[in-house]
Every structure is written in structure tokens, then in C-alpha cells.
Amino acid sequence: MDKIIVKGGNTLSGEVKISSAKNSVLPIIAASILSGDKCIIENAPMLEDVFVISDVLRSVSADIDIDKNSNKVIIDTSDICDCEPCSELVKKLRASFLIMGPMISRFGKFRISLPGGCNIGTRPIELHLKGLNALGAEVSVGHGYVEARARKLIGNKIYLDFPSVGATENIMMAAVMAQGETVIENAAEEPEIEDLAEFLNSMGANVTGAGTDTIRIVGVKKLKGTVHKPIYDRIEAGTFMVAAAITRSKIKIVGINEDHMKPIIAKLTEMGVSIEVQGQSLVVDGTGVLKPIDIKTMPYPGFPTDMQAQMMGLLSLVKGTSIITETIFENRFMHAPEMKRMGANIKIDGRSAIIEGADRLTGCEVKSTDLRAGAALILCGLSAVGSTEVTDVYHIDRGYVNIERKLQGLGANIYRKCI
Ligand code: UD1
């Protein structure tokens, strides 16, 4: 298992290029099932999660060609003949569930093994299933599997109890070829949902309102193949913004959409980080005096849970008391004990973390407990005294393209040790 070694203390400079959003590409690959024609995703991020969801589709006989040189994913789902993906692959990646909507829409059935719990919470899928059921699918859960069948899907009004990203996406994908109109109320508003709607519309679907809390989908008979370039990864960009702040450096981040970055820009600005938007780039200057802040994670456009761990690392080094409240996932403070090993003063009280800024962190061996936790520990390592060894790097590889090479390009002393 690889380790990432960071020798702290270097100031960063220069610019870094942001990849396309993992959380856009995964539902888009799933959505390509909807058409039997070829779909091409350009500028796709070459990430472990993208490889796994591609294998999930291959396990039902889709033909997927991933060109790592041109960052293209070419998907041909014309030969899909099976509606039960390999359960070992499904268990590897929770986002495999995004194939439920497309499968029931195109083939009128699927059988998929249930997800287990994951590190950051139990992550149930009842909202996905309620939505599919409201469209006319008969859904049953038993023996560790979800099974669904539908002779015909019919549009309906669906109010989500919680604006779940995955449930919104699954229902949208199931509804695009249903008869009549579907309205999803209290829908998730994340930019990746808008991107999925753009992809579906370019296939011939009729989706409006994505990016707001009410999405309307008028069913069409058939969808065609398309070519799509996904949006930039706002969480990767946010991670590099924190890298600048935690090392008290000034860097340029190339490849952002200002609107998508607003919740992160607002919080870093409140702390005293200076941020200048230059078109599709950000110049982030963390050389000023930084102040403690309070953060509450919320569904978009609130502060993203996927940036919570990175902010905790940064606030661990900002004099004064900060409070982070995690409202999205019930168990997303697994990075706190690892940060404490590095000298951070963090107390967990239920869903809140109280952080007393320390003068310094010290390098040691720490374990990446999930994707964003791992990235946050690398950030802590960048400013820690001495050497930090981050283990269980496979979590980080799920969602960051060449994180150590991108940080090296900014002047960080970081490398990967293959064991
Ligand atoms: C997506 C993102 C993930 C991000 C999360 C929240 C992808 C591939 N992943 O995950 O990076 O952290 O949004 O922004 O896009 N819930 C239920 N019942 C359901 C569905 C969800 O209770 O049927 C709960 C979950 O347990 C969780 C909360 O809703 O506590 C948010 O989950 P959701 O928005 O569905 O996240 P994901 O789509 O899994």
C-alpha cells in the first residue's frame, strides 16, 4: 500500500490546474447507460473511482475505453444484456448505485447488492428507492440486494425529505424516459446536478430547473449519444485554496467556476485569506493574519461537507477558537484523532468539533480514513515541523488526480513511496 511522505515547511508558489469534478463524472458515466449510442466524456479525471464505475458498467457488458493520454472516456452501452452488476465492484464504490435510475429507465429492471456502511456514516438509500417507487417501479430489498422492476415508468411529483445528491440524480435519470412530467421538490442543488442535467439534455432529454430546489423532467421516448466536458472539481480547487492558506503562501488555481466556489471563498475570506477571482482562475493569498471562524456544513449552496476536514486542518493552526458543525454525515470527524497525533487541539462534542489553534503541528505517521480526511492530513503535513507519513493513500487516489505531483509543482516537498 502506498504512502505519501510530506516534509513540512516549504512555501508554495506558482499555479496548479484543476481537474474535472469526480462527482460530476460518476453520475454522467452511469447516465450513459440511458442511450444505446456512444457517449464520450472529454477531460475526464483519471481517478480510481472513475476506473471502478467503468468496471461496474463493464460487468454488465458495456464497452468502455479509457484513454489516459487524452483523458477521454468512450462508453458504448449498446450491448448491455445483464442488469445485475458484479457485487464485489458495487461494494467498492457507493456511487455504483447511480446505475439504478438508468437501468430501470432503459431496461425496466435491475438487481444490485446493497451498500454496507462506510467510514463517514451509514448512508442509507431509502430516498433513492422511494423516488423510483413513485415513478412506478416495484422495489424490493432482501438477502442483501435491491431489486426493481417496472413495465412502464410514469412521471410523478416527488418531494425529497432531504436534498440528497445521489437520490436527486437517480430520480432524474429514471424520469428522463418516463411517460409525462416528473417534478422533484426539495431537490439537491449541487453544481454537479446541473452538469448531469446538461449531459442528459445533450442526449435529448428535457430537464429544467437543475441547480434549484425544483427540477422538472418531461419524459422523452429515446436518448442519443453525446460528447460532454464536465465542470471543474470545486472540492479539488478548495483543497488547493487551503494548501495556500495553511502554508501562508500565494498561489494561482486555474480551472474554477466562481459561482461554484462561493461558499468556500466566503469562509476563507472571513478568516483573512485574500482571494482574487481572475475569470476561471483564483489567486489565493494566505500570507496575512488569519482569524478563527465557525463553520456549519450544509447542502449546497451551504458549506460543503467535502471541505470540512481540510478546513479543520487549517483551523488547527489559526490562533483562537473555531467550531465546526457537521450536519450532513454523522461520523465525519475520523480525521480529528489523526490531526491530534500531529499536535492539533480538537475536542469532539457530538456533531461539533471545537478547535483551539496550536502554534505548530509536528509530523508523524497518520492514517487516511477517507478521501477528504487523507487530503486534509497531507495539508497538515505541508505546514508541520518535520516529516508526515500519510498511509492508506488509496482513499486519496479515489478523488484526487496526482495530488503529490500537483503539490510538487507548487514547490512542496512531497513524494509517494510505493510499498
Ligand atoms: C454526494 C457526494 C459526496 C458528498 C455528498 C454530500 C457523489 C458521488 N458523492 O454523496 O462526495 O459528500 O453528496 O454533499 O456525488 N441520505 C439518507 N437517505 C438517502 C440518501 C441520503 O438518509 O436515501 C443521507 C446520507 O446518509 C447523508 C446525507 O443524506 O447523511 C447526504 O447524502 P447524499 O446527499 O445522498 O450524498 P451522496 O449522494 O451519497
pLDDT (0 to 100) of residue 77: 96
For 136-172, b/e burial (b = at least 16 CB within 10 A) is bbebeeeeeebbbbbeebebbebebeebbbbbbbbbb
pLDDT (0 to 100) of residue 123: 73
pLDDT (0 to 100) of residue 117: 53
Q: DSSP string of 358-410?
A: PS--B--EEE--SHHHHHHHHHHHHHSBSEEEEE-THHHHTT-SSHHHHHHHT
Which position has the grid cell 456511487? Answer: 95
Residue 23: CB within 6 Å of ligand 1? Answer: yes
Cβ 73 vs Cβ 228: under 8 Å: no
Task: Flag residues of the chain having pLDDT under 70.
Answer: 116-122
Residue 126: CB within 6 Å of ligand 1? Answer: yes
Give the Å distances, CA to CA, from 379 to 89, 133, 278, 317.
Answer: 30, 43, 24, 11
Based on C-alpha coordinates, what's the Rg of the chain? 21
How, if at all, do strands 321-325 and 352-356 pair?
antiparallel
Query: Can you tell me which atom of ligand 1 is nearest the CA of 399?
Result: 11
> pLDDT by residue (tens digit) across 340-386?
999 999 999 999 999 999 999 999 999 999 999 999 999 999 999 99
Give the Å distances, CA to CA, from 81 to 33, 109, 402.
Answer: 12, 11, 35
pLDDT (0 to 100) of residue 151: 94
pLDDT (0 to 100) of residue 82: 86
pLDDT (0 to 100) of residue 379: 98
Give the length of the chain.
419
For residue 3, report the phi and psi dihedrals to the nearest 5 degrees.
Answer: -125, 155
Mutate which of 328, 372, 396 to test ligand 1's pocket (most atoms within 8 Å of Cβ)?
328
Residue 316: CB within 6 Å of ligand 1? Answer: no
Exposure on the CB side of residue 211, measured as CA atoms within 13 A: 11
**Ligand 1 centre and the CA of 410: distance in Å?**
32
Asked about 86 being catalytic, the answer comes back as no
Q: What is the DSSP letter of 95?
A: G
Cβ 172 vs Cβ 223: under 8 Å: no
Question: Which protein residue's CA is at the shortest distance from atom 38 of ligand 1?
Answer: 166
> pLDDT by residue (tens digit) across 119-139?
666 678 999 999 999 999 999
Exposure on the CB side of residue 283, measured as CA atoms within 13 A: 6
pLDDT (0 to 100) of residue 419: 78
